[in-house]
Amino acid sequence: MVGRTLIIGSGGAGKNTVSRIPDDPKVSVITINTGQHGSTISMADGSVDGCRGDRDLGWALAYDYKDEICKEISGHSNIIVTAGLGGGTGSGTIPVIEECARESNARMISVVSIPMPFETLRRETALKQMKEVIRISDRTILFDIGKMPSRGGGSLPISKAISLADEMMKEAVVRIHDMLEGPFFSTLSEKVYTIAYRQSNDPVKAVMSAKDECLFDADPRYGKIIVTSDSEISRADAENISRTIGDTTGIIPEIVTGKGTEDHRIMLFIPISYRSLLS
Ligand SMILES: Nc1nc2c(ncn2[C@@H]2O[C@H](COP(=O)(O)OP(=O)(O)OP(=O)(O)O)[C@@H](O)[C@H]2O)c(=O)[nH]1
Ligand SMILES: [Mg+2]
């Protein structure tokens, strides 16, 4: 019996992100990579080592493997694909995944990252690829890894920044997965979002420290902000959160809470004007 939602980690970054999702029989996860044994779909298995940033090669390979990709997707209503843009495999497979999703009448949500500023060429490529991803996806969540080092006002070494990005992307994927079982599309009514993430026992504190740390140049006055938490939030805390966000952005957030009781892993979904991204 397949779940309604399938999570796909594509390319190196995508694979690392989904490897952080705890095993759960209710959550279906697959990986796609190039030339790497051990992925659910290992394209050109053993003969090459990645696409070396060549998106068109990733796309051509994914096309060769389209039957296998479509077979994995078939039977699901929602596809969440996560990848690091700027490479070959992740960026190249997304359009083929989208074709399979359409053929299965499934919706596709993309959770993708934009490389560090020092990855000059890859970053430039990624910003172009981003437009295609936004155009073909039902919803897109953008992360600018370049914003990670300054998160919280300090400075992070690159390896730390990447693993924190993995953790945040994993959280986003899991939150979206949970929301898809509920009111996802009526909740995330805009097409493109970025996120802010904090973990704390105190949900109000978590929102306070997260709200200025969105991982893209989002315009927080645009659209609506969604606050998701793993655990139930008390009425008083929910009012506090609404006031905190309302006072700074003018937007009263929608709050979606899970059924847990302990840890408040708070994620803010902050809409971005996608027309400005496409221009
Ligand atoms: N979050 C995260 N991002 C990564 C990681 N490794 C690389 N990236 C970022 O993702 C971009 C794409 O890299 P990969 O995921 O390795 O590329 P790929 O999709 O495997 O493509 P090819 O290796 O060219 O076939 C890089 O430019 C980095 O910005 C990682 O482990 N985690
Ligand atoms: Mg790779």
- Contact between residue 67 and residue 103 where contact means Cβ atoms under 8 Å apart: no
Decide if pLDDT at 116 tops 90.
Answer: no
Domains of the chain: 5-188 (3.40.50.1440), 195-278 (3.30.1330.20)
0.95 exceeded by pTM: no
Which one is predicted more confidently, 152 or 56? Answer: 56
Distance 86 CA to ligand 1 centre (A): 7
pLDDT at 218: 73
Specify the residue with its C-alpha closest to ligand 1, atom 1: 166
CA distance linking residue 61 with residue 32, whole number of Å: 11
Confidence of residue 128 (pLDDT cuts 50, 70, 90): very high
- Contact between residue 10 and residue 43 where contact means Cβ atoms under 8 Å apart: no
pLDDT at 152: 56
Percentage of the chain exceeding pLDDT 70 = 96
Decide if pLDDT at 1 tops 70.
Answer: no
Decide if pLDDT at 223 tops 80.
Answer: no
CA count, 13 A, side-chain hemisphere, 154? 6
Distance 251 CA to ligand 2 centre (A): 40
Q: Over 130-189, what HEC string results?
A: HHHHHHHCCEEEEEEHHHHHHHHHCCCCHHHHHHHHHHHHHHHHHHHHHHHCCCHHHHCC
Decide if pLDDT at 265 tops 90.
Answer: no
Stated as kind and residue range, the H or E segment containing 193 is: strand 192-200
Strand 28-34 to 5-10 pairing: parallel
Q: Is the CB of residue 9 below 6 angstroms from any atom belonging to ligand 1?
A: no
